[in-house]
Structure 1
Amino acid sequence: MWEAAAILGEGMRKSVLLRGGIILWLLLMMGNHSHLASINMDSWGRDPQEMKLRHFQQRLRFLKLQLLLAELILPYGCLLWKDPLF
């Protein structure tokens, strides 16, 4: 009985971690689009080439963060997909 409870608890913990990671990734994706709109408002009095470079650097950092998060989520997702408790 205790083994079944432990297995069920472990499956639920993995499921919660996966869902939390997916929600965080989705929030980052939504933040990406609002971030693009704010850059145009920030450009008063600045060199357009400098703004393009800054925008590119920010976008690259954001994409690296998304890739890192995806690398953390995908292994758990594959494990949970095969898990009969999921």
Structure 2
Amino acid sequence: MNIAVQKIVSDIGEAVPFLHHQGCCQLSPDINTVERVLEGLGRNPNVQGVLLVSLGCESVKAEKIKKSISEEKNVDLVRLQELGGTEK
């Protein structure tokens, strides 16, 4: 997934990716930490807008992160599996 995010960033130009290397099979403390950190990064006042890129199967709750950040700014969520994977 990080390859897809890096491709998006290279196409946009001024975007900055915040990557993490967790996927499926995480334990609750790790999931909570990743969600809290991503929410905090997205809510940072220096961030204009957020595009969340999700595989669609990971334990991290992308909708929860989106809801938290969208209270303050525009957020979109893309699930790669729903779009046919990274090859598309």
TM-score by length of 1: 0.27
**Structure with the higher fraction of residues in strand conformation:** 2
Greater percentage in helix: 1
**Which has the bigger relative contact order, CA under 8 A and spacing at least 6?**
1
Taking structure 2 as the reference length, the TM-score comes to 0.26
